[in-house]
Amino acid sequence: MPKYLLADIGSTYTKLTAVDLGKGDIIGTARHYTTVNTDVRIGYEKAFALLAEKTHVMEYDKVFASSSAAGGLKMAAIGLVEELTVEAAKRVCLGAGGKVNLVYSHHITKKDAESIRDGDIDIVLLAGGTDGGNEDCVLYNARMLGEAGVKIPVVYAGNRACQDQIQAIFKEYNIRGWICDNVMPRLNVLNIESARKVIQSIFMNNITEAKGIKKIETEFAEGIVPTPYAVLKAAELLSRGYADETGLGEIVVIDIGGATTDFYSVCSGMPKQANVFVHGLEEPFAKRTVEGDLGMRYSAPGIIKNLSDETIKKYREQGIDLLREAEFRHSRPAFLPRDERDEYVDSVLAKLCVDIATSRHVGTFSTVYTPLGVMHYQTGKDLSEVKYIVGTGGVIIYDRHAYDILKSALYDAGKPTELRPRKPAFLLDGDYLTSAMGLLGRHHPEIALRIMKKRFRKIVGNDYESAK
């Protein structure tokens, strides 16, 4: 029976998952530190050897890989109006599995262009104007990138009417440029796919080399995709289902990492009640947001910056100095809890990550009193009827408080305007399979879906409670 190997070359761990397609199940998983500073092949081969000990399989029919090594796919997004093409450009970057490190609106300055040139950026996404709309801004910004001597790939996804002129500017300044469809062809209409495909093909063909993973790319059946994209695809598959295998419906996936917290929602997010007007840019059905300031280790201090003095004081009264704990974890990215207290502090930080990331992802609701009666405004996605919240990522799957952590995403009477999930069930991806199933799902969606439905464990309480 054919066997597939799915690899995720993360910034900390290289994780391998072996699947037997005949059995339609996992036959083993293994992980090893990613050796990105020397040669990623070493870590990959060590993980492979660990896996072989468990499975006694030495050869696979196909190997697929995703990667978030060396900071993942780092992008700069440029648009015109902040709520419109800038937001659309950001969503394209996030939907492609990237991280948006720099964001600019309107005309960029010389200094902005230099920050893009000298910053640690992999790809620039240049947008602005609806089709047939504003031309002056994108043309100006493309020239500014050229003048600054930007050498990294530039993807143009702005006003269609400017494509020829942009192409000419790319040529004039020797910019490695790509042209695709507008991210916002008409007002409030979002068009992700064209630019997403181009960004990912650039990632596969150009960027993986810079990340030191090109060397083992020949082992893989196809190009490496950014890990968050694989997770997004898995979430979409789990939600929608495939052929006769039904999906779970509206779901949320939360991945709390050391440096970021990723929040995925798969649902239309349209209003769940009458008299609601949806406002603003169209929302993607499968939406991802990344919080670069919320993480359990490297980004722990960022969590504290979001807290009020009262909250910090509340924890201090419990004997937890959040600021010190966060700094401690920031300087020790590989730290593992030593005792119950460490575990508890980790769970406090994780709850805060989930709470804040949820607030930033979900839509909001406001009431307007009009002469025709009470009406409501909705901006963003309504997640109130989401059926499942899936937890994944190292912190949550090894944490005994996983249930409490995921519960922090729920409706909160203190934040009445946020359209948070109200009564979901909770699932835990205890084997860390989500990104692997995203890779497998591209070729064998029915098997990937069945594995997720079988392996994701429903949790109804914390581990330490059920142990009692």
Partner 1 sequence: MESIVIGVIGADVHAVGNRIIEFTLENAGYNVVNVGVLSTQEDFINAAIESNAKMILVSSLYGHGEIDCRGMREKCIESGLKDIILYVGGNIVVGKQDFFEVEKRFKAMGFDRVFPPGTPIEAVLPLIKEDLMNHA
* Contact footprint for partner 1 (CB under 8 A): 80-81, 83-85, 128-130, 132-135, 184, 186-187, 277, 279, 368-372, 375, 377
Q: How far is the CB of 244 from partner 1 (least distance, A)?
A: 41
**Residue nearer to partner 1 on the CB measure, 79 or 97:** 79
Report how far residue 366's alpha carbon sits from residue 454's, in angstroms, rounded to the nearest whole number. Answer: 40
Q: How far is the CB of 136 from partner 1 (least distance, A)?
A: 8
**Residue nearer to partner 1 on the CB measure, 171 or 186:** 186
Burial of 137 (0-12, 13-18, 19+ CB in 10 A): buried
**Residue nearer to partner 1 on the CB measure, 52 or 81:** 81
Matching residue, tokens 């996992």: 26
Half-sphere exposure of 82 (CA within 13 A, CB side): 2
Q: How far is the CB of 423 from partner 1 (least distance, A)?
A: 29
Classify strands 388-392 and 251-256 as parallel, antiparallel or unpaired: parallel
Q: How far is the CB of 2 from partner 1 (least distance, A)?
A: 50
The contacts of residue 292 (CB under 8 Å, 6+ apart) are: 99, 101, 259, 260, 299, 302
Check: CB of residue 44 under 8 Å from CB of residue 30.
no
Give the DSSP per-residue string, 368-420.
EEETTEEEEEEES---TT--EEEEESHHHHH-TTHHHHHHTTS--TTSTTB--
Q: How far is the CB of 145 from partner 1 (least distance, A)?
A: 20
**Residue nearer to partner 1 on the CB measure, 82 or 321:** 82
Point out which residues pair with 179 in neighbouring strands.
156
**Residue nearer to partner 1 on the CB measure, 309 or 369:** 369
Q: How far is the CB of 88 from partner 1 (least distance, A)?
A: 10
With left for phi above 0 and alpha for psi between -120 and 50, is residue 169 left, alpha or beta?
A: alpha
**Residue nearer to partner 1 on the CB measure, 87 or 431:** 87
Report how far residue 451's alpha carbon sits from residue 436's, in angstroms, rounded to the nearest whole number. Answer: 11
Cα radius of gyration (the chain): 23
Centroid of chain to Cα 426: 20
Q: How far is the CB of 366 from partner 1 (least distance, A)?
A: 10
**Residue nearer to partner 1 on the CB measure, 240 or 279:** 279
Report how far residue 262's alpha carbon sits from residue 217's, in angstroms, rounded to the nearest whole number. Answer: 26
**Residue nearer to partner 1 on the CB measure, 241 or 280:** 280
Q: How far is the CB of 330 from partner 1 (least distance, A)?
A: 38
Spell 42-67 as b/e; 16+ CB within 10 A means b: ebbebbbebbbeebeeeebebbbbbb
